[in-house]
Amino acid sequence: MTPGFGLIVRFTLRDAAAAAGFDELVSQTLEGIRRHEAGTVAYTSHRVQDEPLLRIFYELYENRAAFDAHEQQPHVRHFLAAREKYVSKVEVTFLELADGKL
């Protein structure tokens, strides 16, 4: 199965305490994603070397409908509301598959 929809999200966090809180929120959210989202192919959170206040998410979905379903899940809606106290900036890049190996 080739994913049909993806995105990269860059989160700039407010400070070290916010980074710790954000990471815990992400861990809780991932539990729901793993259990309830068959259409989510990959959902990963990355720290960036030498940039302790930056987190990068890489997300792949079966298709746009799977992404839309992801956005409506209770655990994701909670994440979207709760992240505001930790984040100072969010940048989203939507991806279109050109070529690759999965």
Q: Tens digit of pLDDT for each residue in 19-69?
A: 999 999 999 999 999 999 999 999 999 999 999 999 999 999 999 999 999
pLDDT at 97: 81
Which residue range is the domain that position 54 belongs to? 5-95
Residue 100 located in a structural domain: no
What CATH code is carried by the domain that includes residue 38? Answer: 3.30.70.100
Residue 84 located in a structural domain: yes
Query: Are 91 and 6 spatial neighbours (Cβ–Cβ below 8 Å)?
Result: no
| Owner of token pair 């070529």 | 99
Domains: count for the chain: 1
Segment (H or E) for 55: strand 51-61
40-48/87-95 β-pairing = unpaired
Inform me whether the pLDDT recorded for 3 exceeds 80: no
User: Residues with Cβ < 8 Å from 26, sequence gap 6 or more?
Assistant: 45, 55, 79
pLDDT at 96: 85
